[in-house]
Amino acid sequence: MRGLDPSVDTTGETEGAECPYCGSTDTEREHPKGPSLCRSMHFCNACEQPFEKFE
């Protein structure tokens, strides 16, 4: 059994996903579900870019 990922809380919400553009962790989840179950949409507050996070 694998250990829990510290970036995921018990509800499955990703906290502080790293922005692929600037590296900031000041990000917010915009939509809990993306085009598939393993993708979600996030927004970076530092560089103001949207990005997809793969779970």
Q: Is the pLDDT of residue 50 over 90?
A: yes
- CA–CA gap between residue 42 and residue 53 (Å, rounded): 7
The three-state DSSP-derived secondary structure of 32-50 is: CCCCCCCEEEEEECCCCCE
Q: Which residue has the higher pLDDT, 30 or 21?
A: 21
Spatial separation of the C-alpha atoms in residues 20 and 17, rounded to whole Å: 9
The yes-or-no verdict on residue 2 having pLDDT over 80 is no
- Tell me the average pLDDT across 27-48: 85
Give 3 or 36, the one with higher predicted confidence. 36
Report the pLDDT value the prediction gives residue 48, as an integer from 0 to 100. Answer: 96
Name which residue leads in pLDDT, 27 or 8.
Answer: 27
Q: Is the pTM above the cut of 0.75?
A: no
